[in-house]
């Protein structure tokens, strides 16, 4: 129960019990200027605590205020002081009401203390003062090279690759995405240049323009550790859609390609699926040097998100010096170290007021039935459960997945703790965008009246399936540093990629979090708040 002994003692009995009880019966406004606690017999503390908890009169372990337990004070050898939530004296359980009527318990007001401010503005404690992340003073603010190279994207989703590549000066000349709702959001943010086409299998080779880099996150469901991992077992299944990438490479002979997938791909079919994909990519067109990098987005976002990237260089533009053996998994490709911004969940939360103003707070908060099932699941009860299933403000969030919010009762959808006595809630779509590193100016689709559940599911799916733009920017900069092409001979590409990644990460944060981080960055970022 989080007992804390030795605070207050008899001095806290400044208000006579009879006067307090009369004020309670008459509905006095004392609560508006005082803190209220309950004094109970020591031998009844556990029973009273249980009754108060069931009546939502005290914070629980899934509330920010009760995460470490509540402070039950020892008033004397036979008395304990239990602090109550604001307004809780109006909904006291029958056990407590009976004890009050019998004179065995007391409501104690403490007028000497100022009233607590409502904790609705945040779902977690205020962020601690910013420390300087390691290496951040070495990242200068550099301007992108406008239209320096062209790129085409397959399985474009909502444009995570496009955001990352445009931030380093890329220009999109072709985009394909099969999902209509996803295409609409892509077009809402990037316009009709180029027009986003549908199923890549229906697109003729002649319709794909020449480009310098081919990018895409080919469907990951067949390789995800969250599913059955059919991999390449079904010749007509999604697992073989990577061959559309191979087809485009055969025709375009793009100098570079950058592809993304889930880390489960490495284990699928005992690694044979990964080797098949890598082999076919390396044999496409005139032949490619293909390198694999596993990157965790937690350095640039508030989310732990590991993904495998395929970095392809057409052999005639490949830097042969790069072929020497390097660290495990990188096969010799040297990548500049990512700056760890040390972002945490509290820096991406929307305020309760903002969510209420948008009409989302009620729809995001889980129901009592959902919460009851969550408490019964193994993941919640294991190691206290709340460590993994709740997005505490001072922690890095779990990986956002496409089916987020649909499996709450199994504990696989991380939830945001709300102030007591409210139940936890799902992430909002804007918080999902921030977790993925999408800038604040990235627009969401309009919420139509009565369509909240479908609207939320659609956005969870789109962001869960997306790629983190800051990671794309950093990887693209590294690739351009190593490519032997006339238009990418500038040795500053790697530094530009880091600068672009940092800029995207900064602008994926709300203004308050962004301003605090700007204060500890390299001096060249001083005027980069807009």
Choose, from 57, 172, 220, 268, the residue flagged as catalytic: 220
For 395, the 3-state DSSP assignment is coil
Q: Give dist(CA 143, CA 120) in Å, integer.
A: 39
Taking each helix axis from N to C end, the angle separating 242-252 and 272-283, rounded to the nearest 10 degrees, works out to 10
Q: Residues 55, 61, 67, 68: is their CA dihedral positive or negative?
A: positive
Backbone torsions φ then ψ of 504, nearest 5 degrees:
-65, -40
Nearest Cα neighbor of 190 from 214, 159, 152, 164 is 159
Residue 268: active-site member = no
Whole-angstrom CA distances from 444 to 252, 358, 458 are 33, 13, 11
d(CA 141, CA 35): 49
Residue 66: closest CA among 319, 424, 409, 373: 424
Is residue 162 a contact partner of residue 156, using CB atoms and an 8 Å limit? yes
Q: Which of 113, 145, 152 is nearest to 34 (CA)?
A: 113
Return contacts of 196-199, CB within 8 angstroms, 24+ apart.
196/156
| Region for residue 191 given its phi and psi (left: phi exceeds 0; alpha: psi -120 to 50; beta: otherwise) | left
Mapping DSSP onto H, E and C, the string for 320-374 reads HHHHCCCCCCCCCCCCCCCCCCCCCHHHCCCCHHHHHHCCCHHHHECCHHHHHHH
- Cα distance between residue 5 and residue 293, in whole Å: 53
Say which DSSP state 419 is in.
S
Q: What are phi and psi of 265, to 5 degrees?
A: -60, -30
Q: How far apart are CA 465 and CA 390, in angstroms?
A: 21
How many Å apart are CA 37 and CA 108, to the nearest integer? 5
Cβ 224 vs Cβ 267: under 8 Å: no
From CA 119, how far away is CA 265, in angstroms rounded? Answer: 43
Active site residues: 220
């Amino acid at each position: 129960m989080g007992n804390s002994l030795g605070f207050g003692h008899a001095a806290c009995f400044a208000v006579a019990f009879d006067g307090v009880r009369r004020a309670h019966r008459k509905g006095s406004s004392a609560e508006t200027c005082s803190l209220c606690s309950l004094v109970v017999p020591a031998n009844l503390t556990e029973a009273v605590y249980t009754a108060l908890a069931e009546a939502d009169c005290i914070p629980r372990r899934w509330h920010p205020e009760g995460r470490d337990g509540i402070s039950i004070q020892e008033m004397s050898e036979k008395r304990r002081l239990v602090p109550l939530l604001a307004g809780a004296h109006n909904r006291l359980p029958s056990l407590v009401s009976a004890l009050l009527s019998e004179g065995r318990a007391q409501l104690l007001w403490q007028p000497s203390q100022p009233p607590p401010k409502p904790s609705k503005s945040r779902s977690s404690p205020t962020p601690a003062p910013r420390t300087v992340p390691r290496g951040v003073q070495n990242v200068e603010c550099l301007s992108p090279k406008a239209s320096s190279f062209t790129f085409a994207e397959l399985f474009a989703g909502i444009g995570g690759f496009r955001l990352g590549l445009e931030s380093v000066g890329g220009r999109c000349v072709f985009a394909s995405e099969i999902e209509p709702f996803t295409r609409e959001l892509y077009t809402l943010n990037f316009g009709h240049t180029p027009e986003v086409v549908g199923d890549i299998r229906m697109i003729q080779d002649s319709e794909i323009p020449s480009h310098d880099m081919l990018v895409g996150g080919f469907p990951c469901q067949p390789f995800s550790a969250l599913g059955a991992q059919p991999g390449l077992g079904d010749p007509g299944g999604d697992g073989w859609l990577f061959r559309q990438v191979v087809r485009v490479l055969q025709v375009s002979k793009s100098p570079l390609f950058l592809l993304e997938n889930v880390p489960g791909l490495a284990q699928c079919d005992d690694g044979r699926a990964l080797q098949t994909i890598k082999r076919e990519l390396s044999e496409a067109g005139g032949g490619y040097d293909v390198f694999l990098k596993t990157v965790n987005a937690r350095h640039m976002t508030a989310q732990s998100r590991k993904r495998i990237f395929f970095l392809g260089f057409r052999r005639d533009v490949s830097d042969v010096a790069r072929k020497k053996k390097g660290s495990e998994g990188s096969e010799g490709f040297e990548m500049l170290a990512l700056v760890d911004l040390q972002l945490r969940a509290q820096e991406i939360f929307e305020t309760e007021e903002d969510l209420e103003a948008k009409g989302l707070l009620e729809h995001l908060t889980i129901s009592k039935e959902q919460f009851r099932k969550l408490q019964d699941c193994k993941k919640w009860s294991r190691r206290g459960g709340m460590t993994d299933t709740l997005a505490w403000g001072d922690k890095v969030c779990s990986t956002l997945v496409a089916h987020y919010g649909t499996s709450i009762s199994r504990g696989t959808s991380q939830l945001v703790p709300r102030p007591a006595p409210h139940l936890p809630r799902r992430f909002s779509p804007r918080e999902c965008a921030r977790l993925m590193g999408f800038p604040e100016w990235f627009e969401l689709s309009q919420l139509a009246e009565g369509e909240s559940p479908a609207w939320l599911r659609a956005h969870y799916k789109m962001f869960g399936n997306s790629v983190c733009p800051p990671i794309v920017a950093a990887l693209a900069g590294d690739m351009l540093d190593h490519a032997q092409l006339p238009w990418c001979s500038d040795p500053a590409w790697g530094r530009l990629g880091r600068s672009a990644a940092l800029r995207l990460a900064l602008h994926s944060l709300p203004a308050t979090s962004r301003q605090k981080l700007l204060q500890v960055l390299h001096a060249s970022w001083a005027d980069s708040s807009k």
